[in-house]
Amino acid sequence: MSEKLTNYQCGTTCESLGIETRSIINNNRPRIYYRCSDMTGNGAWYEALTTANASADLVGALPATKSVENGTTTHSICSNVEFKKMPTVDGKSLITDLTDVDNKINSIRDSLNTVSNRGYVVESYHNGNAWYRVYSDGFIEQSDAQYIETKSINAIHGTFINLLKPMKSYNYGISIDKINSGAWAQTEFAYAEVYPTAFWLASFTSSIPGAVLVRWTVRGY
């Protein structure tokens, strides 16, 4: 079959162009060919592009760059981005070394472990001179201020002091701070027996009996 297209301008040498087409059925796949003819004769046959034979290599609809690696063809459009084991942009690796990333992850993990192993306050109380704090690992610290009376000289006196917060064991320490009140300079203090809920505080004076204001502080488990 041939078709004449008249008045097709081609410079100043031709006035008309003839197009001849030919269809061939091969393995149930149609193939179409065409060639041009003018006053100088018939041209070479060319295969027309159809949905049966078109490919990215032939169509070239987009300005793609073709590359073949390990038998796989890749068409890259605009910036050449390849997603392989190591992502690259225009041939340059996005991450050149994962060691720094691993080190930062390990550092964050170590910091989280340090925080999780560090005790933090889970309960607290404060009222006047009295206060206590309970920590996540079971550690307790508590304190209060009160008057301790030593009634006579050269004799040990005992005062039973109840704790604000019961301890879970006998493993705690006690510190006594004398406050400038009464015969504080002449009176000595030391703790004796301890219990989970209280302790005995011993006092002694060799010269001036009376009441002394002290602050006791307990720390432990």
Q: How many whole angstroms separate alpha carbon 68 and alpha carbon 75?
A: 9
Q: Which of 164, 123, 168, 170 is nearest to 146 (CA)?
A: 164
Q: Which of 175, 177, 170 is nearest to 194 (CA)?
A: 170
- Chunked mean pLDDT (size 10), the chain, 221 residues: 39 56 72 76 76 59 67 65 59 66 83 77 96 95 95 94 96 93 87 95 93 96 95
Q: Position 87: which residue type?
A: P
Q: Which of 65, 48, 46, 47 is nearest to 56 (CA)?
A: 65
Q: Would you list the domain boundaries of the chain?
A: 1-54, 63-95, 140-220
Q: Which of 21, 53, 48 is nearest to 36 (CA)?
A: 21
144 Cβ contact partners less than 8 Å away, ≥ 6 residues apart = 129, 130, 131, 164, 215, 216
* pLDDT value, residue 4: 40
Q: How many whole angstroms separate alpha carbon 135 and alpha carbon 118?
A: 9
* pLDDT value, residue 89: 67
* pLDDT value, residue 1: 41
* pLDDT value, residue 34: 75
140-220, what's its fold? Immunoglobulin-like (2.60.40)
Indicate yes or no: pTM above 0.85. Answer: no
